[in-house]
Amino acid sequence: MSALMFRRLLVWGVSMVLGFAIAAVFVTAILPWMGPHNGHPITIPIYGYQYFFWTAFPIGLIFVVWLDYFMDTRILPD
């Protein structure tokens, strides 16, 4: 495996982990204080796994863009 391929896999892995971690914090810590829940806890199963995925995946893509730029992996075209 070339160094570029390893860096690309690293960018995708780190980005998705960060995206899912931030989404988990958002769903469990911030979202309960918004809307009708009024401070009652929300878990990821209550929020819904599919909704959680579609919340976390775009956040992970934002990290892909920035890590691609800083690690010069050229995932995105110039």
pLDDT in tens, 3-53: 999 999 999 999 999 999 999 999 999 988 887 777 788 999 999 999 999
Q: Give the residue, 32 or 67, on which the prediction is more confident.
A: 67
Whole-prediction pTM:
0.88
* Pairwise CA distance, residues 63 & 19, whole Å: 7
Residue 1, pLDDT > 90, answer: no
Alpha-carbon distance 45 to 30, whole Å?
A: 16
Ramachandran angles phi, psi of 62, nearest 5°? -60, -40
